[in-house]
Homo-oligomer: A and B are copies of this chain.
Amino acid sequence: MEFSALLTSAGINIAVCVLFLSLYSVLRKQPHNFSVYFGRRLAEEKFQRQDDYFSFERLLPTAGWIVKAYWCTEEEIRQVAGLDSVVFLRLFIFSIRIFSITSLVCIFGVLPVNYHGKEMTHNHIPAESLNVFTIANIIEESRKLWVHCIALYIITISACILLYNEYKYISRKRLAHITGSPPNPGHFTVLVRSIPKSDNELLDDTIRNFFVNYHGSSYLSHQMILRKGHFQRFVNCPGALVFFKTRYAAVVASQVLQSSNPMLWVTDLAPEPRDVYWSNLWIPYRQIWLRKLATLAASVVFMFVFIIPVAFVQSMMQLEQLKKMFPSFRGILNKSFFARVVTGYLPSVVLLLSLYTVPPLMMLFSSIEGSISRSGRKRSACLKILFFTVWNVFFVNVLSGSVLNQLNVFTRPKDMPTMLAELVPKQATFFITYVLTSGWASLCSEILQVYNLVYNFFSKCICCCQQNTEYVYSFPYHTEVPKVLLFNLLGFTFAIMAPLILPFLLVYFCLGYLVYRNQILNVYYPKYEMGGKLWPIMHNTIVFSLVLMQVIALGIFTIKHSPVATGFTILLLVGTVLFNEYCRHRFSRIFEAYSAQDVIELDRDDEQSGRMQEIHQHLQDAYSQTPPGEGSSRSGGQVPIELILEDPAQEASESSQELCDTVQEVSEAHEHIIEEGKAHSV
């Protein structure tokens, strides 16, 4: 690919982006689209419905939304969208910072060195092959490689400093969030599973006796988990929620081994009420480990089997292959513009489309796994999708060739650095266009909400039905976090090899920051709070990206016969691993457990202010298994939980039992809401 082709591609994408963003700024002003673009605000009824009068201004693209999204403070975002949104946006801030530094170093330091890497007569720059800008242009045993080594050091050290500061900042935010938010019933409640059955005692009594006996001073009450269904109402009672008088007692009960048989009386701190994944509470505890192993195996198998169709489709997309398969299009394909579009675009579009099938499946795997909370399920799905994305987007494309060859690399870990060093630079062009197409386009698609827009258009304007539009969506962290982390990985791995990717990435991160801020403020409604628990995943993935960057650099320095640079890179690698270990020791437990000091202080505050009594009363009905229309909408001001969708595909993966049970209840609730809605509009 020539430099001019890259510019063409970039030009097309910039035009498309500007077009889509302008379209968005017009569409969002149309009242019948409010439910698509202001879901959260509508749901909270803070957004004033403007009367449906027509003005010319409504058809003009404006940039006001960018200004609004930019000037909103972090504290405001935390209040309306929770800590998780803040953490997600911090990932963008980190990315913008580190890739600004990286761009500076690599564009002004590494790029000229690459360009003048070997003695050759240079063409006019637009006609120059992209390879001239990559590390492939440096001759063997070149002294210029120390520039790359220094760049590697600057990037790694800056990234580590930034990462450490982010971890510290987010830890502090998390602690402030725990201590600052209103009392959470989850902090007082322990989920007990695998309760031994006694012949001469009711299960209810067994639970009461156990906790009165061993936690008598702090036990408050308990609530059996009831499995409801047409045939088995109030039977198979396999666990219970046990309420304690203080947070500290609940933390202690959840962390200390209860019985001398570790498979009995298993305790976990309960999720907050909206976060409980009820249908999974019915799974017998002794199945959980087996389910985890099985889903792990299934995910790994899926990850590897997925290569085959993608590789097939991608090889089909080669120009020569296309010409053979569609002889009638040969004329068009011979024209260089179309050829560029096809080779530059189609492979990544195919990849993008096939990737859409992954999240629902991974969400299904995570449901089967047996997580007790929706947030746990989402985190698990996020991890699975992350592994999947990094493997299937990065590695499979880098190791392109026959499917079997790809797998062989991983059976010879010793040869990996040199093999990656040979293969990665070759794919620089593909990944630069991938950033342009998949990256930029996904942001446009995100802000336009194409699926919902079309759905809304048909349901409102064509079918004239209204009820479905009251749904709001919760933020799909499990698909968005892996996406952003993938671009981080691409940035780091290609930084010193093909620095041309960096400006495009930087644009992606800046635009993404604005787009997601806007979406978080206007569209998504937080269904539950993960308390920033996604950050350790992000941190570890970024450290993995750094290590991968160093491993590939190691391979390159080996290939180019530069032993000194190799030695320095090994040193850097060891340093990075040590940094990660330190961070793990310093921070990770903050994201896993509550500290005695914090919860005792909270308990004392509540006791001294006399709020404890009130909290205890509220506890009893916080975890309601009654029909959601009655139960959860009581907690005034919040959107009823059944109206917040994770995402359409995921809802399909819910276990059928739960669906059967709730269909009737939800439909009743809907009728109620529709009636209210009609009364409102009249």
Does A465 touch B at the CB level, under 8 Å? no
| Oligomer copy total | 2
CA distance A256 to B252 in the complex (A): 7
Does A415 touch B at the CB level, under 8 Å? yes
Chain A: residues with Cβ within 8 Å of the partner, total of 40
* A258 surroundings in chain B (CB, below 8 A): 595-597
Q: How far is the CB of A409 from chain B (nearest CB, A)?
A: 11
* A293 surroundings in chain B (CB, below 8 A): 578, 581
Q: Is the CB of A257 within 8 A of B413?
A: no
Choose, from A135-143, A271-279, A582-590, the stretch at the interface. Answer: A582-590
Does A655 touch B at the CB level, under 8 Å? no
Closest to A599 in B: B256
Does A162 touch B at the CB level, under 8 Å? no
Q: How far is the CB of A410 from chain B (nearest CB, A)?
A: 9
Task: Name the one of B214, B582, B597 contacting A597, with C-beta atoms under 8 angstroms.
Answer: B214
Task: Name the one of B255, B256, B260, B578 contacting A590, with C-beta atoms under 8 angstroms.
Answer: B260
CA distance A252 to B412 in the complex (A): 47
Q: Is the CB of B256 within 8 A of A251?
A: yes
CA distance A669 to B12 in the complex (A): 89
Q: Is the CB of A263 within 8 A of B597?
A: no
CA distance A598 to B214 in the complex (A): 10
Task: Name the one of B175, B256, B585 contacting A260, with C-beta atoms under 8 angstroms.
Answer: B175
Does A290 touch B at the CB level, under 8 Å? yes
Q: How far is the CB of A470 from chain B (nearest CB, A)?
A: 41
Known A-B contacts A262-B589, A411-B415; the reply to A582 vs B289 at CB < 8 A is yes
Q: Is the CB of B598 within 8 A of A260?
A: yes
CA distance A596 to B261 in the complex (A): 11
Q: Is the CB of A586 within 8 A of B412?
A: no
* A413 surroundings in chain B (CB, below 8 A): 411, 413
Q: Is the CB of B257 within 8 A of A594?
A: yes
Does A316 touch B at the CB level, under 8 Å? no
Closest 5 A/B residue pairs (Cβ): A411-B414, A262-B589, A257-B595, A260-B595, A257-B593
A-B residue pairs in contact (CB < 8 Å), sample of 19: A214-B596, A252-B256, A253-B596, A256-B256, A257-B593, A257-B595, A258-B595, A258-B596, A258-B597, A259-B596, A259-B597, A260-B595, A261-B586, A262-B587, A262-B588, A262-B589, A289-B582, A290-B578, A293-B581
Binding site for B on A (CB under 8 A): 175, 214, 251-253, 255-263, 265, 289-290, 293, 408, 411-415, 578, 581-582, 585-590, 593-598, 600
